[in-house]
Amino acid sequence: MNAQNPSINRRTEAYTLICGMEVHAELKTASKMFCGCTNNPFFAEKPNTHTCPVCLGMPGGLPVANKTAIEWTIKLGLALGCDINLFSKFDRKHYFYPDLPKGYQISQYDIPFCTGGAVETSHGPVRLTRIHLEEDTAKMIHATLDGEKVSMIDHNRAGVPLVEIVSEPDVTSPAQAAEYGRNLREIMRYLEIADCDMEQGGMRLEANISLQSTEQAERGQLPEYKVEVKNINSFRFLENAISHEVERQGEVLDTGVLPAQETRGYNSTKDITFTQRAKEDAADYRYMPDPDLPPFQFAQSQIKEWQHQLPELPGSVRTRWSDTYGLNNQALKMLVVNAEQTAWLDSVFALAEKQGILPKKIAAALVNKQLEINPESTPESVLKTYQKQTASSSVDAQQLSTTIQKILTQHPDAVAKYQAGETQVLGFFMGQAMRVVGNNADAGQVRVEIERQLKQL
Amino acid sequence: MKRTDTQHIATLAHIPINNDQDKDLTAAFNETLETIKTLQEVKVGGVEPTHQVTGLENVYREDEVHKDTMFTQDQALKNAHRTYQGFIVVPRILEK
Amino acid sequence: MLNTLTLKKAHQAIKSKDISINELITKCTEVSQSKNNDINAYTYIKEDANFQEQSNTKISGIPLAIKDNFCTKDMPTTASSKVLESFIPPFDSSVTQKLRSSGAVLIGKTNMDAWAHGSSTETSDFDVTKNPRNTDYLPGGSSGGSAAAVAADMCIAALGTETAGSIRQPASWCGIVGLKPTYGRVSRYGIVAMASSTDSPGPMTKTVEDSAILLNAIAGHDPLDATTSPQATPDFTASLQKPIKDMRIGYIYHNLAEFEETKSRFEEQLKVLEDLGATVEPAPTFDPHYAIGVYTIVQRGEVSSNLARYTGIRYGGDRSHFGDEAKRRIMLGTYTLSKGYAEQYYTHANKVRTLFMRDFQELFERYDALVSLSSPGFAKKRGASEGQAMFGELEDMLLEPSSICGLPGVSVPCYRDETTNLFLGMNITTPWWKEGRAIQIADAFERATRWNTWRNKQ
């Protein structure tokens, strides 16, 4: 690993990593951000089937903002300790690219829904600059048709609500960057606002990376350049890409040259980053408030209500269950998944305690799948199942085998019937066997053994 | 405005122009900019810009799918320059 | 001559079964086809326009001409630009949808300045439209085709769109009635966007009464356009044939040099309003010249943004198909929104816009309505707009201040020159959402004067 690489060790002593993150995540609303089209781009049967005049950028198509997407963005901000701007608006960000149907993206420029806040990591907090809401672009697939290099466009993704979470350059190590990303994903999944499927592109990572020299650090100066690594689709790749950049930029700086200000991509096969676009010609997005979308003015009471609706966050749930019920890390990791499940488990654990059963045993049963995790079922039925399971004692395998062998030998006619296809005689054998091994015995285990022996005859 | 400005703006706006055109366009821009120059006389200290005149705020739609406004694939592709297996096809452009 | 009927008369004739709807449609279509070679009011005339749904509305069975920037799924929609040549949208604009479900018959699409950029219809990529009142002259624009179609009786009524003058200026030049509703009164959904913060679709008709009827049919909140007002739509025909006694009317832009030539004729007409019992007095305003700058910057900025979608990938031709005027506007807008200039131009212009809003708010504390000419003069000769980068802005100067503020207004014919057969139009602007009052004053004026050629005949 990198830590064992002496050349990087030398550099990390000389340079400090300065890294800020930009994370995009698609919200899983039912409809798109600005139109009534289905928001389900990954599971559409065919390309270009979830479109309308608005998301195809037809003449006269007009956006109308999705209420739920705005509410979710603000709730995410509240969960991360952001300040919510009481006045906010959407702006048009102009650039030309075939994946952008209108020639502009509806985004937020100077007044995002959320500013400030932080994501906690084990290496310390990473402060957030802002969270804003925008629309996703169409999906492009690069292909070769009749020998010509082309891009094929699918608009099922165009106009899907997308949150962008921008951090301050507080990330100090590749591992912290990955943890930051994982924590963000956990929160969004926990709030049930985004699936964050990395492979499909439901969550996309970008890192702005530069190295600060010891002198700059002493003078409190930031590096004079920034390299943006884009479109990383796994946390491991993010870690690798940053490590690679630390090494590469260190080498450039060692020669007394400033690394080029540019956008780079990451090639996971070769584990290297590569130049995508020089930044010299800084983009001019010609932002303007979108005249089609009236602005937003939220009442303080509305923000308070949303804050109030927020569930207890996963970190807090884990601490509480660990402290009060003694749940282990494995259980916590598996069980703290989303707010709905937490609420269900809380009532299951509470009822268990009432009935004198240790919640941690229930947790263990859920983890090893003896019990099903199903927030649809009532806590009563879960505990009933659990009690049935624990009450039934498993039978010594050798003893069970002998018992069944004996029963089968004693009833050759029934065996013959079974072999002739009358499988209902299994019930007869079950009755005989249970009488011998006792009614508390695990019926499933008994049944399996009978069937095994019958098949071997 | 100079002719180089006009060329830069043309690039930014994705408007193809030739060398003769940029001369005429530059002249037209300068004529327009001259006409609107007087606007700079107006003192606007402490005045908020009016981007919209309706005074409307908080206009949303509920998060519902509206099948009635959605296109079939055929409708979506009907006017496209080039398509292939349900996709709209463009020559490859590498960078944004 | 069924095609010469006003909307009101045609409706009455249909209702009393004096005429059949199909007769009316056929007549309008035939006249349109025969006159169009000369006038070029239409970019497209529907061969098989027919009546589909019987409906109990005042526009049921009425043949209408639609400006070619409304998306129509049975007719090409080009905005008179080669970029959209032969483009047939897979959907209908909210307004045309509404008209169809009320039983109106859309018989064709009318010529316009390409992308609605202009006040002459000379920037159309499909040839200029002639003014039917005198074919040596321009019809005005950008809704010049609709104005000409109405003036030449090539339809019963028409729809136009206005950003600042595009309904009222051609209405004025062609001697018809044009009504620009309050911004947000009529849905923009499915209309090729020009300047999104001011675009207002509206009626272009033979009489004020017809405008009231047609506005009733198209007004109202549209869930697909977030800038339409949720407030209830009044019955605009309730404002017809009502006295205007004691109305306080402000006469604005009275000392502008630009209309010295027409001033005395206009002021003569203001006496009609006084005779009807209104008080009319000169009302000083914020200098309308500044509105030219505000409008130019805001409109060019929004144009550069709205026309960014025309890339030839999803529909239409690529960006090399834009005409010169569109190229100029897109590029100027791009410049005024670009880094380092947006504050100086776009934001500054919108701050001055705020000053105009305040000025009108104050004016309407003192006046029920404001009047001026719709355009400083008569129709200009063909060719007048060529090489004039600011032609439209100067022709529309009197309407730009109220348009950038989203105010409604009606242009009603108020003078006819005997020699040229050309008209002047009086613009009546009222407070936001008070179209009814503008209709009331315009209707009273129309009935009290001889300028309306259809009322004269009937």
Of A30, A56, A98, the CB nearest to B93: A98
Confidence of residue A430 (pLDDT cuts 50, 70, 90): confident
The lowest-confidence range among C191-195, C380-384, C407-411 is C380-384
**B2 vs A: CB within 8 A:** no
All residues of chain A having their beta carbon less than 8 Å from the beta carbon of residue C69 are 59
Better-scored residue on pLDDT, A444 or C288: C288
Segment C267-289 shows an average pLDDT of: 97
Q: Is the pLDDT of residue A5 over 70?
A: no
User: What is the residue-averaged pLDDT of chain A?
Assistant: 91
Q: Which of C300, C313, C293, C245 is closest to C273 using CA atoms? A: C245
Quickly list DSSP for A258-272.
Answer: PPP-EEEEEETTTTE
**Cα separation values, A369 from A141, A304, A373, C330, Å:** 40, 39, 8, 63
For C371, the 3-state DSSP assignment is: strand
**B65 vs A: CB within 8 A:** yes
pLDDT of res. C141 = 92
Confidence of residue A341 (pLDDT cuts 50, 70, 90): very high
Q: Is the pLDDT of residue A435 over 90?
A: no
Q: Which chains touch A (3 or more CB pairs under 8 A)?
A: B, C
Q: Please tell me which residue of chain A has the smallest CA distance to B54.
A: A294
Better-scored residue on pLDDT, A392 or C172: C172
Residues 310 through 339 of chain C touching chain B, CB cutoff 8 Å: 311-316, 319-320, 322, 327-328, 330-332, 334-335, 338
Give the alpha-carbon dihedral of A224, A230, A233, A235, to 10 degrees. 0
Give the span between the Cα atoms of A162 and A73, in whole angstroms: 9
Give C112's contacts (C-beta < 8 A, 6+ positions apart).
C67, C68, C69, C79, C80, C121, C124, C141, C142, C143, C144, C145, C146
Q: Which two tokens stand for residue A391?
A: 């009450």
Segment A413-431 shows an average pLDDT of: 87
Segment A69-87 shows an average pLDDT of: 98
Q: Please tell me which residue of chain C has the smallest CA distance to B75.
A: C90
Segment A68-92 shows an average pLDDT of: 98
Confidence of residue A2 (pLDDT cuts 50, 70, 90): very low
Q: Is the pLDDT of residue A119 over 50?
A: yes
Q: Is the pLDDT of residue A4 over 50?
A: no
Determine whether the interchain pair A104/C314 forms a contact, defined as Cβ–Cβ distance below 8 Å: no
Q: Which of A392, A386, A407 is closest to A444 using CA atoms? A: A392
pLDDT of res. A3 = 41
Q: Is the pLDDT of residue C319 over 90?
A: yes
pLDDT digits (tens, 9 = 90+) for B35-71: 888 999 999 999 999 999 999 999 999 999 999 999 9
Better-scored residue on pLDDT, C192 or A278: C192
Determine whether the interchain pair A286/C84 forms a contact, defined as Cβ–Cβ distance below 8 Å: no
Determine whether the interchain pair C352/B44 forms a contact, defined as Cβ–Cβ distance below 8 Å: yes
Q: How many CB atoms are located within 10 Å of the residue A45 CB?
A: 9
Better-scored residue on pLDDT, A309 or C385: A309
Give the span between the Cα atoms of A213 and B85, in whole angstroms: 53
Q: Is the pLDDT of residue A447 over 90?
A: no
Name the DSSP class of C165. Answer: S
pLDDT of res. A325 = 95
Q: Is the pLDDT of residue A307 over 60?
A: yes
Q: How many CB atoms are located within 10 Å of the residue C69 CB?
A: 33
Q: Please tell me which residue of chain A has the smallest CA distance to C93.
A: A60
Q: Active site residue: C27, C46, C58, C67, which one?
A: C67
Give the span between the Cα atoms of A397 and A389, in whole angstroms: 18
pLDDT of res. B96 = 43
Determine whether the interchain pair A37/B66 forms a contact, defined as Cβ–Cβ distance below 8 Å: yes
Q: Is the pLDDT of residue A457 over 90?
A: no
Better-scored residue on pLDDT, C224 or A43: C224
pLDDT of res. C458 = 44
**C181 vs B: CB within 8 A:** no
Query: What are the helix (H) ranges across A158-234?
Result: 174-190, 214-219
Q: Active site residue: C32, C120, C124, C142, which one?
A: C142
Q: Please tell me which residue of chain A has the smallest CA distance to B92.
A: A150
Quickly list DSSP for C270-282.
Answer: HHHHHHTT-EEEE
Q: Is the pLDDT of residue C201 over 50?
A: yes
Determine whether the interchain pair C393/B56 forms a contact, defined as Cβ–Cβ distance below 8 Å: no
Residues 85 through 124 of chain C touching chain B, CB cutoff 8 Å: 87-91
- The share of chain B scoring above pLDDT 90, in percent, equals 69
Q: How many CB atoms are located within 10 Å of the residue A143 CB?
A: 15
Determine whether the interchain pair B66/A36 forms a contact, defined as Cβ–Cβ distance below 8 Å: yes
pLDDT of res. C50 = 74
Q: How many CB atoms are located within 10 Å of the residue C338 CB?
A: 21
**C231 vs B: CB within 8 A:** no
* Residues of C contacting chain A (CB within 8 angstroms): 69-71, 77, 79, 84, 87, 89-91, 93, 188-193, 195-197, 223-227, 301-302, 304-305, 307-311, 313-315, 334, 337-339, 342, 346
ipTM of this model?
A: 0.96
Distance from CA of C86 to the nearest CA of B (A): 10
Determine whether the interchain pair B62/A68 forms a contact, defined as Cβ–Cβ distance below 8 Å: yes
| Catalytic site includes residue C166 | yes
The lowest-confidence range among C42-56, C108-122, C329-343 is C42-56
Distance from CA of B15 to the nearest CA of A (A): 11
Segment C405-416 shows an average pLDDT of: 98
The lowest-confidence range among A23-37, B1-15, C431-445 is B1-15
All residues of chain A having their beta carbon less than 8 Å from the beta carbon of residue B91 are 148-151
pLDDT of res. C428 = 98
pLDDT digits (tens, 9 = 90+) for A182-230: 999 999 999 999 999 999 999 999 999 999 998 898 998 999 999 999 9
Segment A280-284 shows an average pLDDT of: 68
User: What is the residue-averaged pLDDT of chain C?
Assistant: 95
Q: Is the pLDDT of residue A421 over 90?
A: no
Q: Where are the domains of chain B?
A: 3-41
Q: Is the pLDDT of residue A13 over 80?
A: no
Angle at C441 between CA C437 and CA C445, to 5 degrees: 165
Q: Which chains touch B (3 or more CB pairs under 8 A)?
A: A, C
Confidence of residue C248 (pLDDT cuts 50, 70, 90): very high
Helix, strand, coil percentages (3-state) for chain C, rounded to 5, are 40, 15, 45
Q: Is the pLDDT of residue C258 over 80?
A: no
- The share of chain A scoring above pLDDT 70, in percent, equals 94
pLDDT of res. A281 = 56
Determine whether the interchain pair A152/B89 forms a contact, defined as Cβ–Cβ distance below 8 Å: yes
**B72 vs A: CB within 8 A:** yes
Q: Where are the beta strands (DSSP E) in A14-120?
A: 15-26, 65-66, 83-84, 87-88, 91-94, 104-107, 114-115, 118-119
| Catalytic site includes residue C242 | no
Better-scored residue on pLDDT, A372 or A10: A372
Do C120 and C144 form a contact (C-beta atoms < 8 A)?
Answer: yes
Q: Is the pLDDT of residue A423 over 90?
A: no
Q: Is the pLDDT of residue C52 over 80?
A: no
All residues of chain B having their beta carbon less than 8 Å from the beta carbon of residue C359 are none
Segment C411-431 shows an average pLDDT of: 97
All residues of chain C having their beta carbon less than 8 Å from the beta carbon of residue A288 are 301-302, 305, 337, 342, 346
Determine whether the interchain pair A30/B65 forms a contact, defined as Cβ–Cβ distance below 8 Å: yes
Of B65, B86, B95, the CB nearest to A48: B86
pLDDT of res. A446 = 83
Give the span between the Cα atoms of C46 and C42, in whole angstroms: 10
Residues 291 through 330 of chain A touching chain C, CB cutoff 8 Å: 291-294
Determine whether the interchain pair B62/A67 forms a contact, defined as Cβ–Cβ distance below 8 Å: yes
Q: Is the pLDDT of residue A393 over 70?
A: no
The lowest-confidence range among A176-180, A228-232, A291-295, C406-410 is A228-232
Segment C160-180 shows an average pLDDT of: 97
Q: Active site residue: C119, C166, C211, C374, which one?
A: C166
Q: Is the pLDDT of residue C104 over 60?
A: yes
**Domains of chain C and CATH, by start:** 2-230+244-457 (3.90.1300.10)
